[in-house]
Amino acid sequence: MKIQEKITLFFVIIATTGLILVNGAIFYFVSSFTFEDFFKRLEARVNLSAEINVHPDSRSEAYQHVRSRYLEKLDNEQDYVSKMDSGTQNTFKKPLPLPDKFYNEIIGTGKARYNEGNHFYAGSFFKTEQGNYIVIVAAEDPYGFKELEQLKKVLLIVFAISILLTYIAGKIFSYYTIKPVRSIIRSVKKISADNLNSRLTEVKGKDEIAELVLTFNNMLTRLETSFETQNNFVSNASHELRTPLTIITSEAELLLTNGNLSPTNGETVKTILSEAEKLVNILSSLLGMAQSGFNGKKQNWERIRMDELILTVADHVKKIEPKSILDVNFSNLPENESLLYTEGNANLLQLAVSNIILNACKYSNNNPVTISVGSENGRILIVVSDIGIGIPMDEQQHIFEPFFRASNTGDFEGHGIGLPLTLNIIRLHKGSIGIRSEEQVGTEIQIMLPVDSN
């Protein structure tokens, strides 16, 4: 879930919670006020009923006149007067089948209230010279309940409309909140190794967005410095390091051609020459790894047909390893020749594929190596398989780490640089490498490359 959606959801949840609490409080207080008002009206009628029925005198008719003339008649209004027995304490005939708690509260506190749904009851205790009485007035309040039902409907409608408006407000709020972040994302996506000198537009203020922009710009400055340092190394290391190695190699070859060396000294010079040549190879591979880390647009990219490149690489391997046996299989080529083209640097791709084929020849003691080219799921598929020593299962995850060599390669020369360099080159071309291997059975390496969209 995107941050904008999370903010909107969080906004709606907070607003919904607040609306539920507010609407609940409104309904609670309105219903409490409605019930309280109706009970007070009942209690006023209880007092009038007591004046009329418990204290009969000359004023009874006046109270009766006031009640009938000035007080509205409540729905199903009924008066109940019950005299308590004088001989037995708190004994009386219950005028209505109401809970004992209601009657006990009347006797204990002097008054009580009770309701069942829309039926309301108010009662009071009166003590006179003629005896003790309990007066109860019962009535219904349909209008109050209708008002509460109407209020409930209004609150639900207002709640639904408020949630909708809150959602819209949340979307607008989250959109403008995340807008600076989206702008940063768009700007960052445009920055690559070709334009590391670009910077994000600074934001005024001291908020988190301004701090994020400043952090990105500082990071880009560090990356630009790092890439420039690497670029300078690639540009200068070849000349600076190859020159002394060339001199050492030339001098060693000159000593060997003179023929004036003793056998012991001759072997020593041969060792120097061999190690110097190894050092040249290591240097070339290291420079290739550094070079393959750059953006491809600096590498003279072109449209490459991969079956032709495989043939070129096979000829190159034959010259390096004359004893190698290569079986180039083109039986899986797609009918559409455009699916064999990719975009990249031909020299780097030749280096990557030749590293894999040379490894297959070396670690299989020049047993037959099969190379096939095809198309799968809209991508170019190159498969190199051998019948060699294989790679231990627990070491396969490390073979693309620089300078790592499997435990069963002690009898073979190598430096652990070829496969890491190959992986860098394939990644540079937006491809991938897969491997399947079993000890003493062989190894299969699959290279997937994107088809050129042009």
- pLDDT by position in tens, the chain (length 454): 788 888 888 888 998 999 999 999 999 999 889 888 888 888 888 888 887 777 666 565 666 666 666 677 788 888 888 888 765 566 778 888 889 898 888 888 889 999 888 889 999 988 877 778 888 999 988 888 888 889 999 999 999 999 999 999 888 988 888 888 888 888 888 877 667 777 888 877 778 888 888 888 888 888 878 777 766 776 676 667 777 888 888 888 888 887 777 888 888 888 888 778 767 766 765 666 565 555 544 456 789 999 999 999 998 888 888 888 999 999 889 888 889 999 988 878 888 899 999 999 999 888 999 999 999 888 999 999 999 999 999 888 888 887 888 888 878 877 777 888 889 889 888 899 999 999 889 999 999 999 987 7
Tokens 């080219």: give the residue.
373
Q: Are 317 and 358 in contact (CB under 8 A)?
A: yes
Helix axis angle, 142-189 relative to 208-258, nearest 10°?
A: 30
Instruction: Give the pLDDT of residue 264.
Output: 84
**Predicted structure pTM score:** 0.49
- Tokens, residue 106: 């009347």
pLDDT attached to residue 61? 63
Sequence-distant (6+) residues with CB within 8 A of 280 are: 242, 245, 249
Residue 213 near residue 200 (C-beta atoms within 8 A) = yes
Query: Considering just the CA atoms, what is the radius of gyration of the chain in Å?
Result: 48
Q: Can you tell me the distance from the alpha carbon of 54 to that of 305, in angstroms, rounded to the nearest whole number?
A: 115
At residue 376, the pLDDT reads 87
- The H-assigned helical ranges of 54-129 are 60-70, 100-109
Which ranges of 54-141 would DSSP assign to H, the alpha helix? 60-70, 100-109
| CA distance linking residue 252 with residue 241, whole number of Å | 17
Output the CA angle 213-216-219, nearest 5 degrees: 150
In this predicted structure, what is the pLDDT of residue 21? 93
Give me the phi and psi of 384, to 5 degrees please: -120, 120
In terms of phi and psi (left: phi > 0; alpha: psi -120 to 50; beta: otherwise), the region of 431 is beta
Residue 296 pLDDT? 46
In 3D space, the residue among 372, 378, 329 whose CA is nearest the CA of residue 353 turns out to be 372
Q: Is 434 helix (H, G, I), strand (E, B) or coil?
A: strand
Please give the span between the terminal C-alpha atoms of the chain, in angstroms, as a whole number: 35
